[in-house]
A and B are shown apart, each in its own frame.
Chain A
Amino acid sequence: SAVISQKPSRDICQRGTSLTIQCQVDSQVTMMFWYRQQPGQSLTLIATANQGSEATYESGFVIDKFPISRPNLTFSTLTVSNMSPEDSSIYLCSVGGSSGTGTETQYFGPGTRLLVL
């Protein structure tokens, strides 16, 4: 399994500002994933961050709003830009890893709880 840390764990931000969330993994991984979990909703994949190339964004998410960096194989950042109250959510970083049962599963960081006023 992978051990993942995220910073900050929570933040309260003003409308129009930006917040950068950091994700650190204890081992080198090819792909890192950023998810959003809005209250009472499922996890939604925002983008996949690959080291050495541009992030791949899912439908409904754009680079200008959610720029991502992946400077090395253990670290990534997600920025939530020009925030509005609709961006209030939990943002989760995840990586793939062995489940111990012969398959790969996703391991998640503790999440960043964002409230935009």
Chain B
Amino acid sequence: GQNIDQPTEMTATEGAIVQINCTYQTSGFNGLFWYQQHAGEAPTFLSYNVLDGLEEKGRFSSFLSRSKGYSYLLLKELQMKDSASYLCAVKNSGTYKYIFGTGTRLKVLA
């Protein structure tokens, strides 16, 4: 079967660091994507991993371990505007289809 798991909610303080985990089981793997979705808006692309390791992009980093079926999104120097849902998605190999997790709602407190 295909399954992607993420925590439902997380809370962190402005200026802090937060790590959002994602575990996946899919029939084929062709990359893992993280999207940010503010309330009432469309998801927007944040990062992409297809090889093991860490990809850094400013305040956001994403890590992948294919052998463990595991990824995390690391957000540093949290800002209030980072309060949003963060969606983990896996692209199936050989197809164009993405499987999405339910998303993690992050609340950043002052």
Seen from chain A, the residues whose Cβ lies within 8 Å of a Cβ on chain B are 4, 31, 40-45, 48, 92, 96, 99, 101, 103, 105-111, 113
Chain B residue, CB-CB nearest to A113: B40
Seen from chain B, the residues whose Cβ lies within 8 Å of a Cβ on chain A are 4, 31, 33, 40-45, 48, 50, 87, 89, 96-98, 100-103
Task: Give the CA-CA distance A18 to B31 in the complex, in Å.
Answer: 37
Task: Give the CA-CA distance A92 to B89 in the complex, in Å.
Answer: 16
Main secondary structure of the interface of B (DSSP, over half): loop
* CB <8 Å contact, B42 and A106: no
Main secondary structure of the interface of A (DSSP, over half): strand
Task: Give the CA-CA distance A105 to B101 in the complex, in Å.
Answer: 16
B-side contacts of A96, CB under 8 Å? 96
B-side contacts of A44, CB under 8 Å? 100
Chain B residue, CB-CB nearest to A109: B42
* CB <8 Å contact, A99 and B45: yes
Chain A residue, CB-CB nearest to B44: A108
Task: Give the CA-CA distance A107 to B96 in the complex, in Å.
Answer: 13
CB distance from B20 to the nearest CB of A (A): 15
* CB <8 Å contact, B45 and A107: yes
Known: A108-B43, A110-B41. A45 touches B48 (CB 8 A): no
Knowing that A43-B89, A99-B45, A108-B42 touch, tell me 16 more A-B residue pairs with CB under 8 angstroms: A4-B42, A41-B102, A42-B101, A42-B102, A43-B87, A44-B100, A45-B97, A92-B42, A99-B48, A101-B48, A105-B48, A106-B33, A106-B45, A106-B89, A107-B45, A108-B43
